[in-house]
Structure 1
Amino acid sequence: MNKRQARVFAIVSTAIASVAFLGLTLDSHRQFDKLTNANAITDQVTRGKDVWHNNNCINCHTLFGEGAYYAPDLTKITQLRGEAYLRAYLKDPAKFYDENKHRRLMPRQNLSDADITGLIAFLDWVSKVDNQGWPPRPLLVTGATFPGTDRNASQPPRGEAAGAGAAAATEDPVALGEAVFRSAVPACTACHSTAPGVNMAGPSLAGLASRTQALLASSEYHGHAKDLAGYIRESVLTPSAHIVPGAMYSADGKSFMPATYPSALKPEQLDHLVAYLSTLK
């Protein structure tokens, strides 16, 4: 290739690349409203965005993986925690965490009820933006690890997709139940650890079987279950039937546990989940 041919090649390549870049840019702008659910941006969402910026939330938190990494990524937080939990948490974070133990206590912002409502609306809008799977999973700061590993208790195991596929290929209800535990929407692992003493947004499920037997035999239980399997089903389907003591688990007599599982889980998935959780002795 001589100099003239090289020059022509460079000019043509640059032109083609420029046209492709402009085309992709225009196509992205064409889809922005749809991808970001622009039609769902209400006055509350806008107010929540202002609350987010005015309180410098991004100095600690991230959205879509962008921001500071001192505190959890909040891209999908409304789907993981729910409005009741977030409202109570934003009113007084000190009820949920011990600063001396966790060392990441969120400061109390003294937000008004209207500001909290707006902020939750904004975060809910963020959670429904088509981020095409980024970040790969929320960053949940707990400081907990699975026994014998360096893996955070709130994160799915490495190679989760392969593990889920393996579970799907087996008839073992316990293995299938563990897959449900990690893949339900929201995932049980987002709020519960199976490590002893590691309480997240929900209590640790370590020793669930033995603790449940003692609870059912005591006067402290206020639900309707008669055995372990019944208690697990009740906890998933009607979580407020029995309130686990602790300000971080409920408010005004209602559990923070999502009430969406009756429609989100198929009967066989619930059966498998019960089988798995029943093994946590």
Structure 2
Amino acid sequence: MNKRQTRSFAVISTAIATVVFLGLTVDSHRQFPKLTNAETITPEVTRGKDVWHAKNCINCHTLFGEGAYYAPDLTKISQLRGAPYLTAFLKDPGRFYDEQRHRRLMPNQNLSDEEIAALIAFFDWVANVDNQGWPPRPILVTGSSIPGTDLTLAQQDASGPGKADAALPPGARPIGGAEDPIAKGEALFRTASPACNACHSIAPGVNLAGPTLAGLASRAEQTMASADYKGSADSIEAYIRESIVSPSTYLHPGDMYSAGGTSFMPNTYAQSLTDEQLDQLVAYLATFK
């Protein structure tokens, strides 16, 4: 091309790129109200956002993957943990973590009940923003290793269905092919909403928001034989299923798992999972002897 043709090409290309950019910008702004659920921004949500900023939560946590990386990303925290757990945690974080055991400490911000409710409302709004799948998964900050393996909990969580057999607790049955009910249950363990592995570890002695599931089958037998058990299960499988669909029937010892006789575990799995899926999840969890 000669100089005139080159100049014309550059001008036309720049004009086209500018038009495309402006069109995409306008289209993005057109979608923002729907993507961000703007109609659900209530005064309480706004108050929660103010609490988030006033307490400098972003100095340790991230939202949508943006912020500090010292503590977990909280984009989906209300879906992963639920309001009862978050309320108890924000009232007294020291019940859940301590500096000596976990090498970090969530400071007690001395939040009022109103501030906690507003902050949870803000988290609910954030969790329902269409963030196009970002961040791709919750950010784990624990560095605890799984006994007997070279995997960290974060690596275990990212290993995917059927790839964590080496990290299974002692006595757990290896997972078979994709059509194996146990394999399907293992996949559900990671993909149910909320995902079970967001709160439960399968490593012995590693308790997260919920108790470890290592040795679950053995503990189920002991629990059913104890005088404290008031449920109706008569087998390991029935006990595990009862624990999933009615988690407050038997409360695991320790005040970090329940409050006021109600388990922090969501009680929505009976509605979100089919009977077949529950059977698959129970079959998987029953392998943890």
Same fold (TM over 0.5): yes
Task: Report the counterpart of residue 128 of structure 2 in structure 1.
Answer: 128
Q: Measure, in 2, the Cα distance between the counterparts of 1:152 and 1:210.
A: 23
| Alpha-carbon shift at residue 151 of structure 1 (Å) | 4.0
Q: Measure, in 2, the Cα distance between the counterparts of 1:211 and 1:237.
A: 18
Task: Report the counterpart of residue 264 of structure 1 in structure 2.
Answer: 272
1:195 equivalenced with 2:203 (yes/no) = yes
Q: Is the 8 A contact 2:45 2:122 kept in 1?
A: yes
Q: Measure, in 2, the Cα distance between the counterparts of 1:153 and 1:219.
A: 37
AA paired with 1:43? Answer: P
Task: Report the counterpart of residue 183 of structure 1 in structure 2.
Answer: 191
AA paired with 1:72? Answer: P
AA paired with 2:228? Answer: E
| Alpha-carbon shift at residue 160 of structure 1 (Å) | 5.3
Task: Report the counterpart of residue 242 of structure 1 in structure 2.
Answer: 250
Task: Report the counterpart of residue 85 of structure 1 in structure 2.
Answer: 85
Stretches of 4+ moved more than 4 A in 1?
159-163
Q: Deviations 1:30-65 (Å, cap 9, x if unpaired)?
A: 111110000000010000000000000000000000
| Alpha-carbon shift at residue 220 of structure 1 (Å) | 2.7
Q: Measure, in 1, the Cα distance between the counterparts of 2:178 and 2:89.
A: 40
SS of the residue 2:248 aligns to: helix
| Alpha-carbon shift at residue 161 of structure 1 (Å) | 11
Q: Is the 8 A contact 1:72 1:140 kept in 2?
A: yes
Q: Deviations 1:170-229 (Å, cap 9, x if unpaired)?
A: 331111111111110001000000000000000000011111112211223232211111
Task: Report the counterpart of residue 110 of structure 2 in structure 1.
Answer: 110
- The sequence identity of aligned pairs, in percent, is 66
Task: Report the counterpart of residue 222 of structure 2 in structure 1.
Answer: 214
Q: Measure, in 2, the Cα distance between the counterparts of 1:168 and 1:44.
A: 48
Q: Measure, in 2, the Cα distance between the counterparts of 1:154 and 1:132.
A: 24
Shift of the 11–129 alpha-carbon distance from structure 1 to 2, 3 Å rule, reads same
Q: Measure, in 2, the Cα distance between the counterparts of 1:213 and 1:153.
A: 30
SS of the residue 1:156 aligns to: helix
SS of the residue 1:141 aligns to: coil
Q: Measure, in 1, the Cα distance between the counterparts of 2:256 and 2:108.
A: 15
Q: Measure, in 2, the Cα distance between the counterparts of 1:175 and 1:8.
A: 61
AA paired with 2:143? Answer: G
Q: Measure, in 1, the Cα distance between the counterparts of 2:187 and 2:68.
A: 31
Task: Report the counterpart of residue 71 of structure 1 in structure 2.
Answer: 71
| Alpha-carbon shift at residue 142 of structure 1 (Å) | 2.7
Unaligned runs of 5+ in 1: none
Task: Report the counterpart of residue 27 of structure 1 in structure 2.
Answer: 27
Q: Is the 8 A contact 2:161 2:183 kept in 1?
A: no
Q: Is the 8 A contact 1:154 1:192 kept in 2?
A: no
AA paired with 1:265? Answer: L
Q: Measure, in 1, the Cα distance between the counterparts of 2:217 and 2:254.
A: 20
AA paired with 1:268? Answer: E
Equivalent residues in 2 for 1:150-169, closer than 5 Å: 150-153=151-154, 156-158=157-159
Q: Is the 8 A contact 2:143 2:152 kept in 1?
A: no
Q: Measure, in 1, the Cα distance between the counterparts of 2:151 and 2:176.
A: 26
SS of the residue 1:23 aligns to: helix
SS of the residue 1:240 aligns to: coil
Q: Is the 8 A contact 2:177 2:183 kept in 1?
A: no
SS of the residue 1:272 aligns to: helix
| Alpha-carbon shift at residue 153 of structure 1 (Å) | 4.8
